[in-house]
Structures are given as C-alpha cells and as structure tokens.
Amino acid sequence: YLLVDHHANNSLVKGALAAVYEQTDSTCQLVWRICRALGKQLQGSHALALGAGIMGDTRNLAAAANGTIADLAAILDEGGVSYRQLLEIFRITGRIDREVRLEAALSAQLHKLGNCLVVSAGVRKNYVYYIAMMLLELGADIAVVGYQQGDDCFIRLAKNPGTVHCLDSFAIMEGAVAGYSKTNLWGDSDYAGFNGKGPIEEIIEAIIAGLQSAQAQKGDCQCSRMLEN
C-alpha cells in the first residue's frame, strides 16, 4: 500500500511501499503538495475537499499554524472557490446527520477525572471524528467516541488542547488497545484513532481507565479552564 499521512505516530508507515509522511496540521496539505509536484491544478471540488479536511484537522482553524492558514488560502484560490463556500460544507442539513449527532449527545456518558470533564459515546454511524469534535464544542475537555460494525471497531480519542495541556492522547489510546487486533493506530498528544477488532464498550472502558491512571499517577487530567474558574 501507499501512504500519505501527517500524524506523529502511525503504525502503517514502516510497511508502506512508499510514503509521503510529514508532521503537518493536515494530510490534505501533503495531498496538495503532491498535486503541485505533479503539475495538477485543483478543480473547485478538489479545493473544497482539501479545505474541509484542513478545517476538520485544525478544529475550524483554531489549532492551525500560520503556514496551514496560508496553505488553505492558496488551495481555495487555486480551485477558484471562496471561504464562504467552504463553510457551507459544514452545515448539518441532512435529517439523518442531525439525528446521529443529537443521539450521540443525548446518550453520552459524563466522567469527571481530576477537574476535567470527559464524555464518552457509542454512535450508530461511522461519524466518530465529527462526533468527538462536536462533544468538545459542547464543552467536554476530553471526548471518546466509538462505532461498532460487526467485529470491526472505530475509536477516536480527542482532547481540547486549550484546556488539557499535559495529557498524551496517543499514549492513552495505545495502552487501551494493546492486545486487540488492529488495522491502524495513529495520533498525537491531542488526538488518536484506532481501527481494528473488538467491542467498543470494552475499549472505551479501557481508555477511561487509562485516563484515570494518568490522573492518579501524574495528575495529567487537570484543565486550565476550570482552574481559572
């Protein structure tokens, strides 16, 4: 397989036939650079797709580096599309989309670790990334989201880097999924993902246990927002 990725930790890099691997804010930046190297100009749909990926990876640019914002502007300009058009992509217009997100919010469990609010949820469609980001937007300091499809599971762990400074999300995820069959495991201190086989309930419980252990041993679950209050 071929690999294009930006995460600090990715277990697939070593096995790739070829890889474009650099720790940027978004893999979409790397895809754009490949297009430029090949002399392929972006069409409008391509620019919107890459722009949406950058927006998602940077929490709507809140965590974006200056260079990433410049890349986004160049991508949109090359594709002849506007930032307003990009924002329209993120509107939740489908009834199913709204149902899935509302169900996730209503069924989520709240855990208090240290002075951080941790929210966990299982969802019925594979929107794990977007649900995790939504839970952070709703006020969670840490979000854990899982989706089950037969034996396959898709788990995401995300933190609000503005309030949770010390916690290493990838280390927590890596410890929680040890022993489970994995398709991929990747991430960094702010966000981690696991695709593999196993019951999401068990893995989410293991992640919560890992967070509890990190709090007990090092006090990593301390949130600056609550300390200020």
Q: Are 124 and 157 in contact (CB under 8 A)?
A: no
Q: Tell me: domain 2-89, CATH 3.90.1640.10, correct?
A: yes
Task: Return the pLDDT at 110.
Answer: 93
Q: And the tokens for 60?
A: 């709507």
User: Could you report the per-residue pLDDT of 147-156, keeping only the tens digit for each?
Assistant: 999 999 999 9
Sequence letter at residue 99: E
Return mean pLDDT, the chain.
89
CATH of domain 95-228: 3.10.310.20
Q: Are 196 and 206 in contact (CB under 8 A)?
A: no
What are the residue boundaries of the structural domains of the chain, listed by start?
2-89, 95-228
- Does the pLDDT value for residue 57 go beyond 90? no
H-state helical runs in the chain: 27-37, 44-57, 66-79, 83-89, 95-107, 128-137, 169-176, 200-218, 224-228
End-to-end, the C-alpha distance of the chain in Å comes to 49
User: Could you report the per-residue pLDDT of 96-120, keeping only the tens digit for each?
Assistant: 677 777 788 888 999 988 888 999 9
User: Could you report the per-residue pLDDT of 78-101, keeping only the tens digit for each?
Assistant: 999 999 999 888 775 566 677 777
- Does the pLDDT value for residue 223 go beyond 80? no
Q: And the tokens for 87?
A: 């924002």
Task: Return the pLDDT at 92.
Answer: 57
